[in-house]
Amino acid sequence: MLLDILRQDEELIAQAGPKVIKKALEAGVAVYYLDNTLGEGIIKEMPDRTRHLIDLRDGEEIILQTFGRR
C-alpha cells in the first residue's frame, strides 16, 4: 500500500514539470530546463516553442545551437 502511494506521487511529480512549462510558455515567458536528448547544458524554450541550447558566460546567455519548434 505504501509503495502504491509513493508510485502515485512519483507520477504526479513527473507530470508537474511539463505542465508548468506549458503554462509558462502560454503566458509568454521563456523557460529553462535540462534535456540531455538535445545536448549537455541548459535548454531555453521561447514562447513560440523555438528551443536553444545555451551556455552562461559572465552572466550572459550564449546560444550554442538552435532547434526547431516542438
Q: Give the model confidence (pLDDT) of 11-62 as tens digits.
A: 777 777 888 899 999 999 999 999 989 988 999 999 999 999 999 999 899 9
Count Cβ atoms below 10 Å from residue 43 Cβ, excluding itself.
19
Give the number of domains in the chain.
Answer: 1
pLDDT at 65: 95
Domain membership of residue 55 as a residue range? 2-67
